[in-house]
Amino acid sequence: MDCIFCKIIAGVIPSFKVYEDEDILAFLDIAPVNPGHTLVVPKKHYANLEEIPEGELAKLAAAIKKVGKAVKDGLGVEGYNVMENNDPVSGQIIPHLHFHIIPRKEGDGLKLWPQGKYGEGEAEEMAEKIKNKI
Ligand code: AMP
Ligand code: ZN
């Protein structure tokens, strides 16, 4: 077992657990963006979003919703970001599917991504390329 999150799930590595059921574990991120930053993971090892079967993803989504509300209500924050990095190029460091729940407060200084503009015909081309693979 080489995966750090599988070790956390097995109890080999300690964590601050906030939610657990048969299929899912949620625990505090060791290096929080904001205090209370929580990770929600399936207990079965899937490298990323593409690998998890739809039925299990539905359970994971329900847990994300439950934990997100608990983060918001429990910490008294105004909102939260839900984020999932898919593959190393996106910033995924741990190849065990996990969703970040990041509590947000007005003025916390966290800036999300800069946004651009499409050139002539580019949006149509992008939409076509994606549509053709669904
Ligand atoms: P990602 O970049 O999406 O793969 O996120 C991996 C996250 O796992 C990072 O935010 C790390 O801080 C977090 N992390 C790494 N090791 C541990 C650990 N032992 N316990 C809790 N969180 C961890
Ligand atoms: Zn794993």
Q: Which ligand is nearest to the CA of 12?
A: 1
Q: Which atom of ligand 1 is nearest to the CA of 84?
A: 3
Which pTM was predicted? 0.96
Return all residues near 10 (Cβ < 8 A) that are at least 6 apart.
Answer: 1
CA dihedral (3, 54, 27, 34) in degrees, to 10, reads 110
Res. 98: pLDDT tops 80: yes
The answer to whether the CB of 93 is under 6 A from ligand 1 is yes
Q: Which ligand is nearest to the CA of 94?
A: 1
Res. 1: pLDDT tops 80: no
Q: What are 57-63's contacts with CB under 8 Å, separation 24+?
A: 59/23, 59/24, 60/23, 60/24, 60/97, 60/99, 63/19, 63/21, 63/24, 63/26
Q: Give the amino acid at 123.
A: A
| Beta carbons of 45 and 3 less than 8 angstroms apart | yes
Q: How far apart are CA 118 and CA 126, in angstroms?
A: 10
Residue 108 is predicted with a pLDDT of: 95
Domain boundaries, the chain: 4-131
| pLDDT, tens only, 30-63 | 999 999 999 999 999 999 999 999 999 999 999 9
What would be the CATH architecture of the domain defined by 4-131? 2-Layer Sandwich (3.30)
Catalytic residue, candidates 37, 45, 96, 98: 98
Q: How many CA atoms lie within 13 A of 97 on its CB side?
A: 20
Structure tokens belonging to residue 104:
């947000």
Q: Whose CA is nearest to atom 8 of ligand 1?
A: 29
Distance from residue 101's CA to the centre of ligand 2 (Å):
19
